[in-house]
Structure 1
Amino acid sequence: MGAPPTLRRLASAAATLLLLLLLLHLPTTILSQVVNTTATTNLTFSFPSFDKSEQFSNLTVVGDANINQGALQLTPDTQNSVEYLVNKSGRVLLNRPVILWQDHPAPSTNSTTTADAAGKRVASFNTTFSVNVYRVHNATPGEGFAFIIAPDLQKPTQSYAGFLGLTNATLNGNPNNHLVAVEFDTVKQPYDPDDNHVGLDINNVVSNATASLTPFGIEIAPLNATNYTIWIDYDGGDRHIWVYMAVQGQPKPSFTVLNFSLDLGAHVSQNSYFGFSASTGSDYQLNCILSWNLTVEDLSEGNNVGGGMAGWKLGVAIGVPVAAAVLVAGLLVFFYMRRRPVRDDPSVLMDKLKSLPGQPKEFMFDELRKATNNFDEKLKLGQGGFGMVYKGVLPGDNPGEKIEVAVKKFSRDNSKGGQDDFIHELSIINRLRHKHLVRLVGWCHKNGVLLLVYDYMPNGSLDHHLFCDADTPLLSWERRYNIIAGVASALHYLHNEYDQKVVHRDLKASNVMLDASFHARLGDFGLARAIDVDKTSYTERELAGVPGTMGYIAPECFHTGRATRESDVFAFGALVLETVCGRRPRCDVAGFQFLADWVWKLHRERRLLDAVDPRLAYAGDYVAEDVERFLLLGLACSLPTPAERPTTAGIVQIISRSVEPPAVPPFKPAFVWPAAVPMDEDGESSRLTSTVVTSSYYASSSGWTPRYISTVEHVEAGDMPNSIVVKNDQPGRGGD
């Protein structure tokens, strides 16, 4: 029970009154200094686009780079001469250096940075830029680009191909490079995880930390040119860097694609330059920076407001009365806080979890480290937005017995967000009991490291079997049928049979695990949230942006920011089509961005069976009636209007053949927002307030914003009469 309203008002009023009394009795000159001590000074550079004149005023262009078509072309921007594109490298840098660290700074009470044991103070910064990487003639991309912090305005010679314009064969790994870069690499070298990854480079193109972007649904250089926004935040006090990436037009994600401990003061020159670099090799791509904003804490002399002896005397002058005021107000607030419920405190939640009946085992960290061979990369099973999963072997209860487990290590270990993610996942999974859900074995929370232990699934994830190489046995139709049925049963349990409604929010093939008998086990509840029984959706509070994975996200989620049971059903429909067709939801069929759009065309042409996985068709291993049943179900779940999608109860009945498959219109209905047509004062529907958007909106990898509207046209007669359709063109690549 919270504090009584009277007490809350008393605490708030008392704190405000004490502060006002204090300020009214301070001399005006003191008040001015009090205000100034809270100020911080930053250097900000903003380029909404780029003009050639910047080359002579704010930017330095080096090597094969250029400024053209309103963008920084880090490598030559042409499609006319292949010879001119290969083995090139370039840089574009701010032409003025920035002080990134200081030795033995004066004491400061206002800085967001802190000094380390040696007295070194490091500046914080954040940067945002948009980029487009374009495959010329749809060729194989190469090599990549990087955001860099460099000691000077030079570029090493012979820095093309895998050196990304950063180093060369002679300089690579030299600590005197004083270079730090965040690379976005499109070619797999022997030291890289794949050909689509982000990495942190320190004096070396062999990254200190890497992460594949594929699990995030991001492809740096897709066939259809896509604009991306990248955010890089660096905290000079915590000595930590965070990297975020999303399709342009989408908000900054809540999860990082890479984060790592980084002490800039130990690696870069005191006066360093910010900018970009890129290279091509025998393969090539166009690397275009479309816009750029950079904010850096100013460590130059005269900007340490409130520092030194004067600042210390000011602190003494006001410290005693402020302390007295804060103490009184603090006591009142403390008394109020004692009366508040503590259910949102992670440490209290953890204590409560320990006392829950049937609570999974709490493991010692050393046990799990030993079980995973110190989290050996060779034992990594997968990676997602919230952490990495490793295979582990634990001793059983009987002598000589060994138990295989999957250990999930959260990627945001030391942050409040990471603890919250851990608490959410643990608190939900702990109480779920269903044969088609992955079972939680235990957990560990030690020294800021967050770990969950699950049953090991020997047959991995569904996507591995659907999109495997030729050596992996074909997943039979019978198994696919049972897998879909199992996922449907698990989803129905989450939505309707558990005492709270649970919205999974990240239903996809990589989160469907397969046990030894190829039975489906729905897992990865890192995005799952429980909602009140009398509510229908979960409104985003912890996560900014749209949760989930592109291709599985329902169109309404881009407008509402809310996850619902209906959006889970949309993702299930994508999974059904994916499983039957053997194709990913973001379609690889020419002319279609989404698999559902292609299947809809086949449905209209009465050729649904043409959608079945060609490997199944070749083997003759499918039941035509069931294939059509599942494809119609998948289309019904993909309907743009949430209320028209089937419920999980209906889905289970359709899969069990107890009811007929749903009737699906021959043409995919338009996405209408708002979904529920509002009523006017006379009770009539007001059609003029709705916007009808074709599937190109939510199928577009770039999302939709008004500035990309290029045409407004009527739908052909027979498709959707009397409707206005708004289409969006693919955003330009920033220089052709």
Structure 2
Amino acid sequence: MAPSRRGQRAATGLAVLLLLYAISACSLLPAARAQATAFTSIRNGSEFSTFSFPSFGNSLRQLPGNLTVLGNATVNGNALQITPDTRNDPEKFLINQTGRVMYPRAYVLWASNASNTSADGRRVASFSTVFKVNLFRATPSVKGEGFAFLIASDGGAPPPPGSHGGYLGLTNASTDGSAANGFAAVELDTVKQSYDPDDNHVGLDVNGVRSKVAASLTPFGIDLATNNTNDDGSHMVWIEYNGTARHVWVYMAKNGSRPGTPVLDAPLDLSKVLLGKTAYFGFSASTGVLYQLNCLHSWDMTVELLPDGSSPGKQPLSGWKLGLAIGVPCAFALALGLFAGLYIKKRRGRIGDDSSSIVRSTINFASIPGVPKEFDYKELRKGTGNFDEKMKLGQGGYGVVYRATVVGEHGQSMEVAVKQFSGANTKGQEDFLAELSIINLLRHRNLVKLLGWCHQDGVLLLVYDFMPNGSLDRLLFGGGPEAPVLTWGHRYNIVAGVASALNYLHHEYDQRVIHRDIKPSNIMLDAAFNARLGDFGLARALETDKTSYTDKLGVPGTLGYIAPECFHTGRATRESDVFGFGAVILEIVSGRRISCSNAAGCSQLLEGVWQLHGAGGGRILEAVDRRLAPGEFDEGDAERLLLLGLACSHPNPGERPRARAIVQILARSAPPPDVPASKPAFMWPALPVVLGDDDGEMPVSGTSTALTSSSSYYASSAGWTTQNYLLTREHDVTDRDMPTA
């Protein structure tokens, strides 16, 4: 056996050397993609290309192959400055400026020789993009002119002469509207021209700046280049184009997740706009006599690759001699490295069937402790009726959940819930792995049970126990007037179940786990209406010496359930989990939402319960769901829950009860907490968090100047509009991230 082992070690060593040689040989090539993450994936039989710029480092200026920077555009301050970024000498640097930044890869956006063509014999590619744009007034009194996402036939053409002002760097007076321009753009316009609806609108431009379709952003609560000193002018923009329907949708939000309603939707046939079959993506902006700062902070894009027999988007190296001198050795080395890697993989056993996938080639699923069963993709596809819309249970920020029937361990049929992540892009991989790596180790009766996973053809899936009674959100808020009302006994048990799960995560599991997204849509109900806490896509397991987790992207969660201190620290803690739980308690007892995104008639539930408590005389019981008649609920337990909800919602994290104490209060072995008669003002830095001796931790406190806020904290701009904190999962109130019935 010894010679065989020596042979294996020798082969492995040779393979490693060959891989290192491949890497070193290819490192001689220009580092044209050093700043961007790029890969391809397969979805529903189509190939997609994705690139991602989480930020724009200043080194991009030395890497022209990464982006094409044209006109007055620059890279500065980890952002793309589409027009100059300065407040000095505006007459010289800011007036009548134009700029473009283009991604240098050309994509085939329509093909006439592809399969499954439409009636006109053309197949048009689909794509989606999301970017964070900042439109900022250089002076408080003026703004102008505008910013546009651009699809151009020519990726290297600078802004035309005279394209400043209302032409947005796209056209000029002599060419505006000409079909020879060959572009389409989505404009964010901040100056009203005679053909514009107002100075705050979005429009679809085709070969000219007189928009084919335009819509004011004011009804959506969006103010471009605002003069609000508490607003930095940043917005998230999502653009989705369906090549089959030949239609485009645009969504916008303030640093949150994509809303359900588009700000603009319009027909767009790119095959009739572009001058050829290929096009480039990028951005254009301008200033005029009026000016503003137009910059881009991040950009992610996914484009369908059409199987037209060509290799779309491959950029030639700078000269055929460089290709021969470097490309051939590199290709040879990569071939050897690939052969060696396959040899190693074969010797060590396969991880799975999808060997071409980026995820599978970079993630060793076997290394995840306690990883559950791997399901066959064909079985899940069959069980969901090919992911039929009729089998959909819900949809949230991270994916869609389907009901499915699969074969159980003993050959019998069983119902499961299948969570399909939004895509095999970088963020989708992170969400998938976060949930898989945490929840598969957790074992508690009040947590949704993970049954298995699947990754094949670029599709990421997690399989859970099916919850017959769906989500708490649906039972509390989703039914009509004739829907059955959740009984008081079920409500109390649900609160107790979630508290037990929270105590397990915070105190009983080997590691301290912070959920970070506790809300009714993430609480499932089994056949007996027992609560099961789910959706661990945002959860994090802390190291033994840590008490908080800081997300590099900012503050995750959903408005109304995010603790106020998180907007100042960017950190998630056990105390911030308890705050979200307090909001859930008040919603369960009252049958009303904690927040309605400022919709008409939206009640401020937390403020209302606190006022009823301060009024005394048992008036706090007026907060109980009016659908529960007197005698249908225990008044003592109702007051216990309402006081507990207020205590958990205390603005100062140090005053909130721990999960252990909450469990005792709900078990009626401890009295309800003492709650002030009126809601205390939010203060920052907060008072120290007093920790028990069993925690082995020191009190946590802040050091900055105190900041007080009125009881209408959430209505103020001092919270969620703060520039440094990105709300990565502000869901619509109808979101369903986990299985629902």
- Same fold, TM-score > 0.5, yes or no: yes
Q: Residues 443-474 of structure 1, C-alpha deviation per residue, up to 9 Å, x if partnerless?
A: 11112211111111111100111112112101
| Structure 2 match to 1:311 | 319
Gaps of 5+ in 1: 1-14, 23-33, 49-55, 60-93, 105-117, 132-145, 152-177, 185-197, 203-218, 236-240, 277-289, 298-305, 327-343, 679-684, 708-736
Residue 440 (structure 1) aligned with residue 489 (structure 2) = no
SS state of the match for residue 393, structure 1? strand
SS state of the match for residue 483, structure 1? helix
Report deviation, 1:40: 4.0
Residue 628 (structure 1) aligned with residue 650 (structure 2) = no
| Structure 2 match to 1:411 | 422
Report deviation, 1:179: 9.1
CA contact (8 A) 2:415 2:465 kept: yes
Q: 2:705 aligns with which of 682, 689, 692?
A: 689
Q: 1:421 aligns with which of 431, 442, 451?
A: 431
CA contact (8 A) 1:253 1:545 kept: no
Following the alignment from structure 2 to structure 1, what is the Cα–Cα distance between the partners of residues 383 and 494?
30
| Structure 1 match to 2:403 | 391
Q: Residues 540-567 of structure 1, C-alpha deviation per residue, up to 9 Å, x if partnerless?
A: 24xx121111110111111222211111
Following the alignment from structure 1 to structure 2, what is the Cα–Cα distance between the partners of residues 466 and 456?
19
Residue 41 (structure 1) aligned with residue 52 (structure 2) = no
| Structure 2 match to 1:269 | 274
Following the alignment from structure 2 to structure 1, what is the Cα–Cα distance between the partners of residues 471 and 126?
43
Following the alignment from structure 1 to structure 2, what is the Cα–Cα distance between the partners of residues 450 and 373?
17
Report deviation, 1:621: 1.8
Report deviation, 1:98: 9.1
| Structure 1 match to 2:495 | 484
SS state of the match for residue 460, structure 1? coil
CA contact (8 A) 1:410 1:449 kept: yes
The one-letter amino acid paired with 2:237 is W
Q: What RMSD in Å do the two structures reach over aligned CA positions?
A: 6.1
Structure 1's 291 and 465: CA in aligned 2 closer, same or farther, altered over 3 A? Answer: farther
Residue 549 (structure 1) aligned with residue 538 (structure 2) = no
Residue 525 (structure 1) aligned with residue 536 (structure 2) = yes
Following the alignment from structure 1 to structure 2, what is the Cα–Cα distance between the partners of residues 99 and 705?
30
Write the mapping of 1:345-360 to structure 2, written as runs, cut at 5 A.
347-353=362-368, 356=370, 359-360=371-372
Q: 1:583 aligns with which of 592, 598, 605?
A: 592
Residue 567 (structure 1) aligned with residue 576 (structure 2) = yes
Report deviation, 1:402: 2.5
Q: Residues 682-734 of structure 1, C-alpha deviation per residue, up to 9 Å, x if partnerless?
A: xxx99982222234344547835689xxxxxxxxxxxxxxxxxxxxxxxxxxx
Following the alignment from structure 1 to structure 2, what is the Cα–Cα distance between the partners of residues 441 and 201?
49
Following the alignment from structure 2 to structure 1, what is the Cα–Cα distance between the partners of residues 657 and 236?
37
Structure 1's 589 and 322: CA in aligned 2 closer, same or farther, altered over 3 A? Answer: closer
Report deviation, 1:313: 3.8
Following the alignment from structure 1 to structure 2, what is the Cα–Cα distance between the partners of residues 394 and 660?
47
> Number of matched residues?
511
CA contact (8 A) 1:592 1:598 kept: no
Q: 2:670 aligns with which of 654, 659, 669?
A: 659
Following the alignment from structure 2 to structure 1, what is the Cα–Cα distance between the partners of residues 435 and 534?
10
Report deviation, 1:647: 0.2
| Structure 1 match to 2:235 | 229
Following the alignment from structure 2 to structure 1, what is the Cα–Cα distance between the partners of residues 107 and 678?
68
Q: 2:519 aligns with which of 508, 512, 524?
A: 508
The one-letter amino acid paired with 1:608 is I
The one-letter amino acid paired with 1:392 is A
Structure 1's 594 and 562: CA in aligned 2 closer, same or farther, altered over 3 A? Answer: farther
| Structure 1 match to 2:545 | 534
Q: Residues 54-112 of structure 1, C-alpha deviation per residue, up to 9 Å, x if partnerless?
A: xx9799xxxxxxxxxxxxxxxxxxxxxxxxxxxxxxxxxx9x999998699xxxxxxxx
Q: Residues 592-634 of structure 1, C-alpha deviation per residue, up to 9 Å, x if partnerless?
A: 8742122111111122111111111x46421111111111111
TM-score normalised to the size of structure 1?
A: 0.56
Gaps of 5+ in 2: 1-20, 29-60, 74-81, 86-94, 109-121, 136-147, 154-181, 189-201, 207-217, 225-230, 242-246, 263-267, 285-291, 301-313, 335-358, 690-700, 724-741
SS state of the match for residue 513, structure 2? strand
Write the mapping of 1:463-482 to structure 2, written as runs, cut at 5 A.
463-467=473-477, 468-482=479-493
| Structure 2 match to 1:160 | none
CA contact (8 A) 2:446 2:532 kept: yes
CA contact (8 A) 2:67 2:103 kept: no
Structure 1's 462 and 654: CA in aligned 2 closer, same or farther, altered over 3 A? Answer: same
Report deviation, 1:412: 2.6
Sequence identity, in percent? 49
| Structure 2 match to 1:493 | 504
The one-letter amino acid paired with 1:41 is T
SS state of the match for residue 473, structure 1? coil
Following the alignment from structure 1 to structure 2, what is the Cα–Cα distance between the partners of residues 560 and 671?
14
Q: Residues 338-380 of structure 1, C-alpha deviation per residue, up to 9 Å, x if partnerless?
A: xxxxxx9984540223x73xx5321100000000001111111
The one-letter amino acid paired with 1:596 is L
Q: Residues 471-510 of structure 1, C-alpha deviation per residue, up to 9 Å, x if partnerless?
A: 2101111110010011001111111111111111111000
CA contact (8 A) 1:128 1:292 kept: no
